[in-house]
Copies of this chain bind each other. A is one copy, B any other.
Amino acid sequence: MPQLGLLPGRAWAALLGQLLRPPRVVCLAAARSHSQVAEAVLASQLKPHQEKSNFILKTPKGTRDFSPQQMAVREKILDTIVSCFKRHGAKGLDTPAFELKEMLTEKYGEDSGLIYDLKDQGGEILSLRYDLTVPFARYMAMNKLKKMKRYHVGKVWRRESPTIVQGRYREFCQCDFDIAGDFDPMIPDAECLKIICEILTGLQLGDFLIKVNDRRILDGMFAICGVPESKFRAICSSIDKLDKISWKDVRHEMVTEKGLAPEVADRIGDYVQCHGGLSLVEQMFQDPRLSQSKQALEGLGDLKLLFEYLTLFGIAEKICFDLSLARGLDYYTGVIYEAVLLQTPAPAEEEPLNTFGEKIRTTETQVFVATPQKNFLQERLKLIAELWDAGIKAELLYKNNPKLLTQLHYCENMGIPLVVIIGEQELKEGVIKLRSVATREEVAIKRENIVAEIQKRLFES
């Protein structure tokens, strides 16, 4: 099967034609005069805070910009995650940021109030997506697909109150991997858990544990404890808070807010404080009350099978059966899981890496084009175009006559490893000076060999 790059020009153009906007004109927003952006910036800066509208420069509550440093880290994280999804054969999918509001309502239970609605400006009533799962289900249904293994990396929006739930953002990125379809039980679930292990290991976050439970075990437990069926979901959502608030507070919420009898709450308490490995699954099979529930037995049977597959995958010791794991959303019906880090990551700081005396590169520039002389812009431009055309990542200063020291300092600050230097002398001799920023060594290379020499050095490093 031909790869995309091997497609004949016409096929490629046809495909691109589908994606371009508008059909015939390629309008690259990529290009805009620097001076105009500078002016826009200036205009914003000139607007004094105390002006008529009391205008404040900020991002909306609960949202944030990603600075180049944070982007460099995020890119590495997403690379790790997406590579893993692709290693497991997932297809990519993307859906719009908003959906018809009626598509989203009634899907999220108590959390529906956290959905961002768009203003009614005429036409359809829309809301920002709350997760990537409901859009996936909508895509499947719309296209009448019965099975699909897909990944989707994208932003979702939730109007959470940052004062209540510390550390949560109202805009954040989700990385979903789903296997939809009708398969033999627990094989896809085992793969999902394997994926979590691979990703968390790849991210080097330190030791972790994946809690698993089953909604049917929870429901069975609720039933035998005496929770009325109409309260299952509400009680589930209380239990789900056990990783954030204490059992005492959860019990209080269940009794006073959700109207559960205190003795029922206490029976639940006995279970939800249990966690362990396969042996706890076996133990629950023997539990005189829980084993009365057909639902719970089904869930326990699946968990047992799951542990068998996890052992074959070599990850059973990373998995913990935890009866307190509930997950808040209504659409969970079977096995559920959630990973927790066992060590707390170091506290977040403004510029974390400076604490460790390290620097993250925010660009990938490999070569800087410098000159020690005035009026050498033309030579620098000719040279840098040669580098770009050879695929080399290169920069220069946008000045007619920059100082050599300024140029070399820029390289050190930005972590650019190589500098090519062209001046009167070099031009006369038909050479370019190639300088290593780290060692400060300089060698003269014949002009016609400079691209090859740079590529050799970059390949070796």
Contact = CB atoms under 8 A, between A and B. Distances in A.
A217 interface: no
Interface in A386-425: 388-389, 391-395, 398-400, 415
Interface residues of A, number: 202
Given A14-B345, A92-B75, A99 B38 contact: no
A68 B93 contact: yes
B19 A59 contact: no
A57 B137 CA distance: 10
A444 B338 CA distance: 41
Interface string A1-35: 11111011111111111111111111111111111
Given A15-B352, A184-B400, A398-B184, A134 B24 contact: no
Contacts of A141: 41, 44-45, 57
Contacts of A443: none
A236 interface: no
Contact of A72 (B92, B171, B333): B92
Given A4-B360, A32-B178, 19 more contacts: A13-B205, A13-B343, A21-B172, A22-B165, A23-B166, A24-B344, A25-B338, A26-B208, A29-B176, A33-B332, A35-B333, A41-B180, A65-B93, A66-B93, A68-B150, A86-B363, A86-B364, A97-B157, A181-B398
Contacts of A99: 59-60
Nearest to A55: B102
What 9 pairs across the A-B complex have the smallest Cβ distances?
Answer: A17-B345, A1-B415, A71-B92, A183-B398, A68-B91, A14-B346, A63-B96, A89-B395, A66-B94
B179 A361 contact: no
Given A168-B21, A198-B388, A208-B26, A13 B399 contact: no
Interface stretch (A189-197, A267-275, A426-434): A189-197
B34 A393 contact: no
Interface in A77-128: 77, 81, 85-100, 102-103, 107, 116-121, 123-124, 126, 128
A187 interface: yes
A22 B166 contact: yes
